[in-house]
Amino acid sequence: MFFRGQTIGKYRIVSALGSGGFGSVYLAEDTWIDKKVALKVPHKQGLDFSELLKEPRLLASMSHPNIVTVLTAEKQDDIFFIVMEYVQGETLEEKILRDGALDVALALDLTCQICNAVDHAHRAGILHRDLRPGNMLVSDTGLLKVTDFGTSRFLEIAVHGTTIIGSPPYMAPEQFHGKAVFASDIYSIGVTMYQMLTGTLPYATPSPADLDRLMKGELVSSPRLRNPKVPKGIADIVLRALAPELTVRYSRPSEVLEDVLAARETVRRPGRAESGRDDHVADIQSRLRARDTPQPSFCWHCRKPLQARTAKCPFCGEIQ
């Protein structure tokens, strides 16, 4: 809809960033303040104006470092668009397609950021309904931001979403019946975790004939079968997030986050020495010293310094 070099209002189009089912996104420059921004242009421009304002209003109701920030919404030359912060980096989908299975520690770090974003949205009464790596931006510094709330809705009054919306490989079983609930987003997080840990989806896009098996959980196998490096504790978290029964599945992102934080303590960090007697002894000695002399640390999220053995960051409030 826009082309490079075009000026619309005070924005000059720099390049196209991508296109999805609900709109196209462009990198633009705010010529008034010399700042790069992202412009999202919905494909359906003929919708009622209040419907067009739905996504920016949802985004404006939230403020979280792991959710893309909406700056404003405008209509210029009869074209409606949303102005958002520009995140320099790539989508999580692009990263997985390029690198395949991610390092377990990195996958868990990104999972924590996803859970923080979704937990914030759920607390605001917002159900995303289309969580997937293609809707998650990873900055050059490793900060993840969830975006594309075009399919989201408030669940403060309704019991569940009644429209069949989402990307089939990431949709929970109940979504195929138009009964999306907050736990449906947890299922999507589980699929995303599986993909980060193995480089592949847990199953192909379900066909109508596969729905019964999906409801029974017969399409999902442990991520350890595809990547033996995945610890059993992490695999168990993924499988619980992918449970077809709502009574078995995690009900809140904070529950996933809590289990991931506990499990990742056992995951070997990148760059640490591999197995060997000397390394094992050195590791034990290091742990003993750490008990006697608490070491300063930094928040995994905002990178600000923390007091030793702090469980919660006093700056951004994230659990360590």
- Hey, is 11 helix, strand or coil? strand
Reported as type and span, the H/E element at residue 51 is helix 49-52
- Quote the CA–CA distance of 287 and 229 in Å, as a whole number: 24
**Contact present, 184 and 127 (Cβ < 8 Å):** yes
Which of 34, 48, 109, 130 is an active site residue? Answer: 130
Q: What count of Cα atoms within 13 Å lies in the side-chain half-sphere of residue 212?
A: 1
Residue 77 appears among annotated catalytic residues: no
Output phi, psi for 135, to 5 deg. Answer: -105, 20
Burial 49-68 (b: 16+ CB within 10 A, else e): eeebebbbebbeebebbbbb
- Residue 41: closest CA among 21, 20, 25, 65: 25
Q: Is the dihedral of CA 89, 95, 99, 104 positive or negative?
A: positive
Active-site residues: which are they? 130
